[in-house]
Amino acid sequence: MCNKSDISLWPFMFVLNEIPIEERYSFENVIIAGLCMDIIKYLINSSNGYYSCLRCLRCLQSGKSIPTEKGSTIIYPYKSYNPTGPPRSIGLYRKHFKKCLKKKTMIAGIKDDCILNDLKYYNAIKNTNIDIMHSLFLGVMKKFFEYWFEHPSSNTYSLKNFLKELDDRLLSIKPPSYVSSLPRSLTKWRKWKSHDFMNFTIHFSLITFSNLMPIEYFHNYMLFVIAIENLFRKEIDKNNLQKIQKCIELFVSQLAKLYNPNIMKSGIHELLHLTDLTNDFGPLNNINCFPFEELNRKITSLIHG
């Protein structure tokens, strides 16, 4: 809330799903319940967010530590025999939670008490969603931009040599009125915000990359866009979720070979759970952090000094 400090503060904000979505995020309808520091966020659900090989709250699929130039990183290789499992049930969560408290050590990615467990109807698995604003657009998409525009041009996936042509094509697009903003220059993608990555992904990217991105990479990326676009629809036929899941699984299964194993970070793994989360919470466009970003700006504007 202050750019002159290294301390990051995050507000707890609650909205009521019973309020129509057009009014749900109005300032007068939002409950501001408290503040926490950045690292404390992971203590809310008692997961080891940054370093655990069992980071996912939806499944017990274990990550793998691999060496990098700067040390090591945890990746989640695609497992064709069980892409989204084994599932982390509420029963297993409570069992691991009790064992964790007893032995005072991390068990299956759970490392401490969870203050939300005191809530009568709280289910740590079913009531926890993936924040697509940070995980998908500021995570997965931003990582792809690094591969396309920052990695050496000798890589087959690199688009560095086509940057000007891609940028000219993107900036020539005249989007319809329902698109919230005009496209921004690819040369300034490091300054893009989450909305810029979202609009580019859903509305502009396929037009921009067509015939310039290598065909096998374009076909792979198209699976991603088709899945995300469908999960963002206002209304989703549950019968289509299985088809969307197949698109996501095919997309993820090809990434390590097309790019390299390092791309298989937790954000890529989380994509595999998006259809289940949509089934539980509804379309991605209704449950995400974009409205809270605007609320954060309003709260920040109230702070002086």
Residues 241/279, Cβ–Cβ less than 8 Å: yes
- Strands 64-68 and 71-75, sheet pairing: antiparallel
Ordered mean pLDDT values, 10 residues apiece, the chain (305 residues): 62 86 88 70 52 73 88 93 92 86 83 78 87 93 98 98 98 91 96 96 97 98 98 90 97 98 95 95 86 80 69
Core vs surface per residue 77-100: b (16+ CB within 10 A) or e: ebeeeebbeeebeeeebeebbeeb
Residues 199/179, Cβ–Cβ less than 8 Å: yes
> What was the pLDDT predicted at 34?
80
